[in-house]
Amino acid sequence: MDYYKEIEGKRVHDHRFGKNTMSTLARCIWVPCPVIIGAGPSGLAVAACLKERGIPSLILEKANCIASLWKLKTYDRLRLHLPKQFCELPFMPFPANFPTYPTKTQFVAYLESYKNSFGLDPVFNKTVVSAEFDDQCGFWRIRTLGLKQEETEYVSQWLIVATGENADEVVPRIDGMDDFGGPILHTSSYKSGLLFRGKDVLVVGCGNSGMEVSLDLCNSNARPSLVVRDSVSLLLSF
């Protein structure tokens, strides 16, 4: 059966695709293997596990690199918050000379090596705008936009979403933000405390990022204050 022609034929007669949509949809690609959305650690791990079992896959990534959150949206002092043996990906341990808590740079290098070792070749600069299961033909239809807003639809029987839980920052609206004269940053835009040396800084939240950013600000001679919604229990080491 020629699946590509079957999909094209059904799309032509599909009332959900009007003339305007059809004219702007540049390509429709049949993918005879699982489509994985996201080239972060989870997406790479799934692709490697499939490949070890002789199953190819297609990885779609909206950025121009793997592990874009780690490369582009993390602060300089970041390390793994768990010992490395709990963070390694399947079939490939961390290098023996890595410390117990690898740095951001070391973890990214490990992911690059992982990608190369398994011969993974993600398709970059493909932002998934929708993914719908077509009951009529029994396939997933994954629509993407490229850098020039060119539209491509990938059609596959299998879809794996590996976009992570922190793909997009969440910045709550707080009264007075519009009148505040200083910078307001999400931690995904924070790099180091050097820009805040000698300044008062309010850190909202005491999760891993909030606590580590507060420490970084202290080490940079800033004056951070930490505000927390609920009560917090601190375990001090002596």
pLDDT in tens, 129-182: 999 999 999 999 999 999 999 999 999 999 999 998 777 888 888 899 999 989
Whether the CB-CB separation of 78 and 104 falls below 8 Å is answered with yes
Homologous superfamily in CATH for domain 177-227: FAD/NAD(P)-binding domain (3.50.50.60)
Residue ranges per structural domain of the chain: 3-161, 177-227
Residue whose entry in the numeric block shows the structure tokens 């699946």: 3
pLDDT for position 11: 52
The Cα 154–Cα 101 span in angstroms is 39
Residue 147: count other Cβ atoms within 10 Å of its Cβ: 10
Cα atoms in the 13 Å half-sphere on the side-chain side of 234 = 6
CATH class of the domain at 3-161: alpha beta
CATH fold match for the domains 3-161 and 177-227:
yes
CA torsion 225-226-227-229 (nearest 10°) is: -170
Whether the CB-CB separation of 186 and 92 falls below 8 Å is answered with no
pLDDT for position 230: 85
pLDDT for position 26: 61
The Cα 214–Cα 225 span in angstroms is 8
**Rg value, the chain, Cα:** 22
pLDDT for position 8: 52
The Cα 60–Cα 161 span in angstroms is 10
Query: What residues of the chain score a pLDDT lower than 70?
Result: 1-26, 237-238
pLDDT for position 215: 94
